[in-house]
Amino acid sequence: MPAVAKELGMSHGNLTHHFGSIGALHAALVDQMAQELATTVYAAVRRLRDERADPITVVNAVFEAFDNGGAGRLISWLALSDNMDALKPLFKTITAAVRELTDDDHCRSNPQSVSATRHNALLLLATALGNALVGDRLHAAVGVPQGSLSKLSALNLVPRAAAKRR
Mean pLDDT, 10 residues at a time, the chain of 166 residues: 73 79 78 79 71 81 86 88 86 84 78 84 90 95 95 80 43
Question: What pTM was computed for the model?
Answer: 0.75
* pLDDT at residue 159, rounded to an integer: 64
Identify the H or E element spanning 78.
helix 71-80
- Select from 37, 36, 31, 47 the least CA-distant residue to 120: 47
Q: What is the pLDDT of residue 63?
A: 92
Query: How far is Cα 44 from Cα 124, in angstroms, rounded to an integer?
Result: 9
pLDDT for residue 146: 94
Give the pLDDT of residue 137. Answer: 96
* Residue 55 contacts residue 162 (beta carbons within 8 Å): no
